[in-house]
């Protein structure tokens, strides 16, 4: 992206084609703003890693042009990378709501990062934040975390609305509602393009309100005879507090298990989200363990089968700070399965079944949860308010993007698809209203309208990909290590070590060989022995004078011999590590 | 299981608590029969393995008592292990339907196994097959593969009905229907226990017929403008043939991609399932590639995102024998996501979206598939026919078992839960009708009924677990290798090689060190160098005379030093392989 180029463009660094790692760069005449800095969690192809995030080389290469970072809301797929990428923002102001700011501060503290004074800016609505050639306004939307916002991004080329995650909740029992008045006003001003949430667009029905969920959970609580264990996304603490209030009214003391929910409780107290009705009802796990069953409500973290979470450990029959699932307990999972987590979640549900708890989840009861993302009718409702020229699907997988584009087209908007690592140019200064050009197939005189600018994708590809938090390090744009790990996990490893006299190249002694993850070396001792013999023979044939004067060649010979040997003996081609000991 | 013990008992070797690897052993006074020999496919915790199957040590230890193996139907989770376990059956007759027998013969051929003459027995219905103290009858049921059967297993203690996989299809467009007349007759004879399919019991609705699926697929085909690619489970060829017939009627030539579907086509021709209407319509892929779009119907294998399948490769834009997805093609996935496969299947769907094909799957269209397993009302219908005393949930996960047990109890049957590796004793000779025993809390005179026998689980645990096909070998009951692989994939491996003079123990030269899957050795050369230095130092401190006379101690010192070093430097604790080269 040449900083000197005059245009309005968007470059996705994440969140396009996948759920998670949301990060969009907007470019107006060389000034850049960044919207969101999200992460996702590694899958089975990314073994050993802790966190996945966008490759930020583009940001580092254009550090001086970054005029602001705008966080839409406090979900990890939007905010989770702020700490890891802090240096990449190169001191640019980072805008966030009070809650998001608290979450960011927590992340910076954990990483030992001290933000520049004044770098973290608290937003309010109806305010225009200037960032280079951009002016950004936060518009409240309803979502499954408090303080979620769409962004109205004004430029001289026109206005972009970046919806962030949103839905409409016409009967919201708590939290903010989508500000349709303001969105309609922005729509009237004219919207060039919407970058819109695609997550739930394949659902033909409106997502619906949180109200019936709370109602249904209230019913489940009323019916529950024994202790109640309740699991929900920690960030959706509005729901948890509502349900906890119901429990308290029924005379149940309330216990919150989990680091994240307790962080959010601290934030909510500081920000006024904490319901005072709960003040005298909160107890710790040890106290809950001693109370009669009908007096206990426990929030347990871990809706996605996370191995270390309270809910998972409880489902395995573990004692979690004195609490242990008993027959007659009711467990309510008020959440959805995130694709890829199904097996782990099913294991949790099965665990509770084995313990004879009454487990209620979306498998048998869809009313325990509602999405925070718009279904097709909700997307239409949003676009009716904004009346955009272009609809650009973001936040989703290709099948969702296709559905989103089909919907936009059917409603009379022009869908435009993003491409990872490529810039989408939305407007250029050469294309002025005065440029009246004949439409195709029509006489020049007939043309009454300026030919609309057709957004295009640049041919040039910018750095794009994923970085991984891997223990204490970041694996940058380097999937080689992950490839090595996958290979190790499929076929194991064999090590061949040779001693060489440094001065002469003379090969001394025998080959020392060992394996891991390949076979049982005691039972298959013969196979290993035969591997040593074959390798020795192969080396002796090549290095007939007993001097290994070409280690690369020796390495190749050993690799080839052992690969063939284990393929033949075990149907496996292990990673073969050859090492020479200089004597 | 003492062979001399007098009782009727069941020992599950697989399929209890998990979907897949179905295998049940029934024991009547020491005679054993085996029902099904299924496999499942490995998950992310079983890297590098190809197939999962039950541990068969129990069968080997009781080889002489096995009187027969009874296969219910030709799905891999019931029949897939017959080849691998052939020797474990110890020559006992293996009963199967004609189709199942063809599938078994294919497996035996692939493994180079020659069955004993007459060992494979073809079943017919209404026949009683004697197997030791058992008498087994095959009763037709409706399922998503032809020739599926429930088993009525008669013993002197009473009759067990092993349902296998079943459903009711009241408007079956093809295939066999569940023989309710015969089931009702068996019910009238008296059924001691049902071992019943639990897969779909959490569905409160009846599963429904195949008819509306065929109707809906016909509609989709009629609407399709371009080429049609159709994917379904290969074993459910009845559906595929019906849809292909519709395609042929519309003037589309029919091409079948995939080894398994072509095997089933061969079987279906031999057994009379092949519809003659298709005779002149089948073409190969090369021919299909040359035809106009509206003349092409392609069956593509791979509904579960299998990497090597035709459908997966097509979704990636690959050229499969001349066929390549184009804009305007319609792809219909007529199947369900098997839990654990979601990510792969979504990748396939996304791939087709990216290629601008019209992809239709259960995500947006539930009517493209119907289950082959009974919903709750269907289970009730089955038990109404059989009127069993005991209901024993099989074929499912614990949450399904719990739902199944709740249903049974509500309907007035007594549910009994199995436990892996433990025998469930259903009847014993000591408990005769003459044994009138006072019911609890009642006077002995009041007792009019014999006290019913309460099934119980034996304390003794028999060998239970999984074996893995791993390349050319079977990993038997040995998860250690899988544990090693998982560890390798999380943290990588570091190798430390030392040369030792055999005669004196003198440590010669330097430590040679290399890593894989841990870090980039070029970028992180310093970390490796420091590792060598620290290890050398640690060894020198312990072996001050320069003689490594205790290799185990040396190994421990190196392991500890390197684990600490990489933990500190990379936040990782790699597998550490130490090898000594004798010089």
DSSP sequence for B326-342 = -TT-EEEE-S-PPTT-H
Confirm or reject CATH 3.30.420.40 for domain A8-205+372-429+442-476, answering yes or no: no
Closest CA to A121 of A98, A139, A137, A88: A98
CA A333 – CA B399 distance, rounded (Å) = 14
Which residue out of A47, A507, A548 would a mutagenesis test of the B interface target, given it has the greatest number of B Cβ atoms within 10 Å? A47
> Which residues of chain A from 384 to 443 reach within 8 Å of chain B, CB to CB?
397-399, 401-403
Chain B residues in contact with A350 by the CB 8 A cut-off are 17, 397-399
CB contact under 8 A, B498 and A470: no
Residue range A492-582 forms a domain whose CATH class is: alpha beta
Q: Is A111 on the interface with B (CB under 8 A)?
A: no
Report whether A576 contacts A496 (CB < 8 A).
yes
> Quick check: B509 and A499 CB within 8 A?
yes
Q: How many contacts does A have with B, using Cβ atoms within 8 A?
A: 219
Q: Which of B73, B60, B61 is nearest to B100 (CA)?
A: B73
| Residues forming a β-bridge with B393 | B196
> By the CB < 8 Å criterion, does B498 face chain A?
yes
List the single residue in A with minimal CA-CA distance to B490: A48
Confidence band (pLDDT; 50, 70, 90) for A44?
confident
When pLDDT is averaged across residues A227-249 and rounded to a whole number, the result is 98
Alpha helices in B444-502 (DSSP H): 480-491
Q: What is the mean pLDDT of chain A?
A: 94
Let me know: does B462 contact B423? Beta carbons within 8 Å. yes
All residues of chain A having their beta carbon less than 8 Å from the beta carbon of residue B563 are none
What pLDDT, on the 0 to 100 scale, is given for residue A3?
53
pLDDT of residue B451: 62
- Span A50-73, average pLDDT: 97
The reported pLDDT for the residue numbered B420 is 86
Cβ <8 Å between B339 and A350:
no
pLDDT per residue as tens, chain B (583 positions)? 445 689 999 999 999 998 899 999 999 999 999 999 999 999 888 999 999 999 999 999 999 999 999 999 999 999 999 999 999 999 999 999 999 999 999 999 999 999 999 999 999 999 999 999 999 999 999 999 999 999 999 999 999 999 999 999 999 999 899 999 999 999 999 999 999 999 999 999 999 999 999 999 999 999 998 999 999 999 999 999 999 999 999 999 999 999 999 999 999 999 999 999 999 999 999 999 999 999 999 999 999 999 999 999 999 999 999 999 999 999 999 999 988 899 999 999 999 999 999 999 999 999 999 999 999 999 999 999 999 999 999 999 999 999 999 999 999 999 999 998 899 999 998 754 444 443 344 444 444 555 678 999 999 999 999 999 999 989 987 679 999 999 999 999 999 999 999 999 999 999 999 999 999 888 889 999 999 999 999 999 999 999 999 999 999 999 999 999 999 999 999 999 999 999 9
Q: Is the pLDDT of residue A2 over 80?
A: no
**Distance between start and end Cα atoms, chain A:** 54
Chain A CA closest to residue B478: A520
Determine the Cα–Cα distance for residues B216 and B197; give it in Å rounded to an integer.
Answer: 27
> Given an 8 Å threshold on Cβ–Cβ distance, is A575 in contact with B48?
no
Q: How far is CA A84 from the centre of its chain?
A: 14
Domain ranges of chain B: 8-205+372-429+442-476, 211-367, 492-582
> Exposed/middle/buried for B476, CB within 10 Å: 0-12, 13-18, 19+?
middle
pLDDT over 90 (residue A537): yes
Residues of A with Cβ-Cβ distance to B346 under 8 angstroms? 339, 397, 399
pLDDT of residue B445: 47
Binary contact (A489, B492; C-beta < 8 A)? no
Partner residue facing B519 (CB), from A401, A481, A570:
A481
pTM of the model: 0.91
Q: Is the predicted ipTM greater than 0.85, yes or no?
A: yes
Cα–Cα distances in Å, from B332 out to A407, B216, B303, B322, B532?
A: 20, 11, 10, 20, 58
Nearest to B14 by CA among B73, B66, B57, B68: B57
Q: Does B470 contact A570 at a Cβ distance shorter than 8 Å?
A: yes
pLDDT of residue B450: 54
Residues of A in contact with B509 (CB under 8 A): 499, 502, 581-583
| Helix residue spans in B471-550 (DSSP H) | 480-491, 525-542
Q: Which of B489, B491, B536, B575 to mutate to test the interface with A (most CBs of A within 10 A)?
A: B489
pLDDT-derived band at A433 (thresholds 50, 70, 90) equals very low
CB-CB: which of A17, A492, A579 is closest to B512? Answer: A579
Question: Mean pLDDT lowest for which of A9-18, A477-486, B160-169?
Answer: A477-486
B47 touching chain A per CB within 8 A: yes
Burial code of B162-201, b = ≥16 C-beta within 10 A, e = fewer? Answer: bbbbbbbbeebebbbebbbebbeebbeeebbbbbbbbbbb
Cβ contact A350–B397 (<8 Å): yes
Question: Could A353 and B401 be called an inter-chain contact, meaning their C-beta atoms sit closer than 8 Å?
Answer: yes
CA angle, corner A490, sides to A486 and A494, nearest 5? 100
Token pair 């093609």 in the structure block, residue:
B329
The alpha-carbon gap from A124 to the nearest alpha carbon of chain B, in Å, equals: 38
Q: Looking at beta carbons, which residues of chain B come within 8 Å of A17?
A: 350
Q: Does A343 touch chain B (CB under 8 A)?
A: yes
What per-residue confidence (pLDDT) applies to A435? 41
Nearest to B342 among A342, A498, A583 (CB): A342
Strand ordering across the sheet containing A473-476? A51-54, A466-470, A473-476
Asked if A43 and A485 count as a contact pair (C-beta separation under 8 A), the reply is no
- If you average pLDDT over residues A482-488, what whole number do you get? 96
Strands (E), A79-169: 94-96, 120-122, 129-131, 134-141, 148-155, 158-162
Nearest CA in chain B to A45: B44
Among B343, B356, B510, whose Cβ lies nearest the Cβ of A582? B510
Answer whether A365 touches B (CB < 8 Å).
no
Distance from CA of A3 to the nearest CA of B (A): 31
Would you call A581 and B512 a contact, using CB atoms and an 8 Å cutoff?
A: yes
For chain B, say whether A516 makes contact (Cβ under 8 Å).
yes
Second CATH level (architecture) for the domain A211-367: 3-Layer(aba) Sandwich (3.40)
How far is A506 from chain B, CA to nearest CA, in Å? 11
Cβ contacts (< 8 Å) between B519 and chain A: which residues?
A: 473, 481
Q: What is the pLDDT of residue B452?
A: 72
Q: Does A527 touch chain B (CB under 8 A)?
A: no
Cβ of residue A364 closer than 8 Å to a chain B Cβ: yes
């Amino acid at each position: 992206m040449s900083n000197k180029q005059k245009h309005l463009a968007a470059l996705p660094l994440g969140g396009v084609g996948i759920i998670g790692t949301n990060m969009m760069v907007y470019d107006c005449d060389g000034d850049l703003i960044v919207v969101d800095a999200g992460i996702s969690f590694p899958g089975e192809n990314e073994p050993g890693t802790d966190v996945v995030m966008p490759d930020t080389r583009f940001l580092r290469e254009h550090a001086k042009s970054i005029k602001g970072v705008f966080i839409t809301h406090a979900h990890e797929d939007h905010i989770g990378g702020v700490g890891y990428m802090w240096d990449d923002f190169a001191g640019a102001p980072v805008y966030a709501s009070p809650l998001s700011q608290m979450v960011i501060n927590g992340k910076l503290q954990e990483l030992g990062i001290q933000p520049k004074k004044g770098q973290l800016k608290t937003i309010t609505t109806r305010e225009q934040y200037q960032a280079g050639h951009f002016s950004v306004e936060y518009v409240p939307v309803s979502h499954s975390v408090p303080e979620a916002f769409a962004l109205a991004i004004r430029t001289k080329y026109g206005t972009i609305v970046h919806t962030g995650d949103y839905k409409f909740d016409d009967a919201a029992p708590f939290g903010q509602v989508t500000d349709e008045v303001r969105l309609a006003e922005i729509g009237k001003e004219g919207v060039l393009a919407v970058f819109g949430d695609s997550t739930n667009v394949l659902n033909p029905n409106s997502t619906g309100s949180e109200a019936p969920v709370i109602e249904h959970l209230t019913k489940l609580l009323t019916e529950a005879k024994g202790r109640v264990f309740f699991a929900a996304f920690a960030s959706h603490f509005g729901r948890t507090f509502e349900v906890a209030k119901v429990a308290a009214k029924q005379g149940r003391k309330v216990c919150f298990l989990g680091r994240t929910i307790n962080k959010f409780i601290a934030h909510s107290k500081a920000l006024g989200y904490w319901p005072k009705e709960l003040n005298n009802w909160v107890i710790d796990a040890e106290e809950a363990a001693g109370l009669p069953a009908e007096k206990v409500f426990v929030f347990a973290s871990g809706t996605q089968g996370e191995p270390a979470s309270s809910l998972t450990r409880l489902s395995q029959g573990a004692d979690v700070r004195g609490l242990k699932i008993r027959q007659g307990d009711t467990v309510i999972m008020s959440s959805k399965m995130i694709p890829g987590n199904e097996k782990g979640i099913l294991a949790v549900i099965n665990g509770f079944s084995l313990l004879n708890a009454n487990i209620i989840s979306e498998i048998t009861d869809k009313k325990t949860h509602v999405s925070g993302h718009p279904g097709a009718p909700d997307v239409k409702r949003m676009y009716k308010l904004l009346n955009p020229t272009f609809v650009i699907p973001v936040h989703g997988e290709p099948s969702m993007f296709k559905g989103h584009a089909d919907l936009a087209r059917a409603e009379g908007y022009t869908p435009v698809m993003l491409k990872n690592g490529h810039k989408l140019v939305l407007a250029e200064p050469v294309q002025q209203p005065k440029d009246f050009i004949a439409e195709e197939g029509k006489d020049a005189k007939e043309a009454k309208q300026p030919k609309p600018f057709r957004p295009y994708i640049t041919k040039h590809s910018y750095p794009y990909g994923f970085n991984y938090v891997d223990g204490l390090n970041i694996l940058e744009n380097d999937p080689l290590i992950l490839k090595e790990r996958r290979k190790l996990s499929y076929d194991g490893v064999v090590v061949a070590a040779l001693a060489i006299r440094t001065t002469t190249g003379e090969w001394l002694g025998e080959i020392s060989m060992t394996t891991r993850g390949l076979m049982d070396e005691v039972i298959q001792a013969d196979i290993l022995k035969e591997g040593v013999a074959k390798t020795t023979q192969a080396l002796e044939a090549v290095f007939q004078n007993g001097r290994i004067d070409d280690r690369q060649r020796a390495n190749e010979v050993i690799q080839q011999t052992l690969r063939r040997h284990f393929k033949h003996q075990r149907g496996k081609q292990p990673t073969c590590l050859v090492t020479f000991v200089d004597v």
